Structure 1
Amino acid sequence: MPKYWFDHVHLISQDPVTTANFYEKTFGAKRDGLSELPGGRTLVSIALDGASIKVTNPRPEPLVPNTLPNGCGLEHFGLRTDNLEEAVAELKAKGIKCVQEIKAISPTTKIAFFVSPEDILIELLEVSS
């Protein structure tokens, strides 16, 4: 069985920079990234006592059909794994629905998305050094 550990919480906001500013000013979070995603979405990354929080605009189309495309709140949580291919195969074998197959998002990071029975989006990611 591959190992898993908590990686991040991903929030959706109509204004990711303002939302990140709130966590910085209110809780002392530190900004550690600001980038543009495909489709013109903004990604702000902040760190709070070792925990990573990602904030983006809503997706144009949700990965899970029952969620609102412009809804705000928790978008997904991420679990890091040491073997993404094995983890994806294992979850599929358990009947857990994969909504995005393995995709490289950088030279060192691969991701896949699954959905829980309650339609909670779960990202699995493998980061190589």
Structure 2
Amino acid sequence: MKTTRIHHVAIICSDYKRSKKFYTEILGFQIINEIFRSERNSYKLDLQVGDNSQIELFSFPNPPHRVDRPEACGLRHLAFEVDNIDEAVRELKSQGVEVEKIRVDEITGKKFTFFQDPDRLPLEIYQK
């Protein structure tokens, strides 16, 4: 199998309006498509991330809670590349988002830090 990139990451949220606002207004991702699937009582929001990636944001009635230990099996976090991490952190904080202290990757020497979406999904920003 030859893959060329990650096409999308799917996220199920507990409060659709709150998460839609977070991903579009705070993180600034552009809406590609939004539909309500009445047979599933579920929204599906496709968001553009950069030039080549997407996030699919889903709402489902009463989804089970995510295991909150960062070392649990499964997706550990979702990382976004930014040109200027200091500027990105300032923007996030100005929107009321709590951001951890900026660290430096001991292997690459690049700056990175973590924050959470409204459902406590761990998100990372990583200096380009």
- TM-score normalized with structure 2 length: 0.46
User: Which structure is higher in strand share?
Assistant: 1
